[in-house]
Structure 1
């Protein structure tokens, strides 16, 4: 009779366990544009995007001003700190897949009773059945890429602003 109960319980639980696969992978839809015709080889955008600002601006005074601006700009420092923060979040989300181990200590000292001291280890591991940890990791990766793009945008805007001011001053000096 005991085996019959176990068999019937397993038979009832089996359909419930098959429903645990609720998460399905995301497939990115195809985007309808032709990258080859957007930027032809004879246009400026391919080589310009691959160039460093040091190759683009060869004037030594302008390079010194840009270096000084990049080293002392607080917005760029904040953007770099955001990249570091996103990198730390990404590494923490990757570590969430691993089991966690902890050790706790407890003790008491009493005047009328014996002194007590105990150490208790514990370990836990969360199985990512519904994709929670995977989604957190993908979100952390997206945040890291976004923070890198933000830092690059701040740096590009700063270089462009310094170069524009420098060339404006040269133009006014010539007038």
Structure 2
């Protein structure tokens, strides 16, 4: 398998570490802004409807920014894991190396331009990584998804005949005597 050299991976590792530190700082600042904004909004909430709706919109915007920043931090952590496993820079669709300039611009990318085009065109079948990603999005295991693809019907069950216990047999015989 073609991959980047250890020296190149170290360079990418440094880029990702720098981006990670910056993203963590920005995430902390956004969380502090939300906390401060929430305290300020609660003091005068309900006095002016237009101001309240504006404040709520601003709070929603900040929350959306936090979610995006959190996703970015997670993507950077995943990139570090790919570096550790020495698969960083390998396209998850084509298996070829992603262009170095693309990785420098978007260090969290997992697809080359060719892979993105192939996947967007629908020319590629669903990959195992896509199955695993879809499973994690639905909080299911990959085996559960694979089992949904083609699963043979279960064998027909044989009818189960319950054996009567001695006590039950004796009770039925006693009941027969009464009739």
Task: Tell me if both proteins adopt one fold, taking TM over 0.5 as the criterion.
Answer: no
What is the TM-score normalised by the length of structure 2? 0.28
More helix by share: 2
More strand by share: 1
1 or 2 for the larger relative contact order (CA 8 Å, sep ≥6)?
1
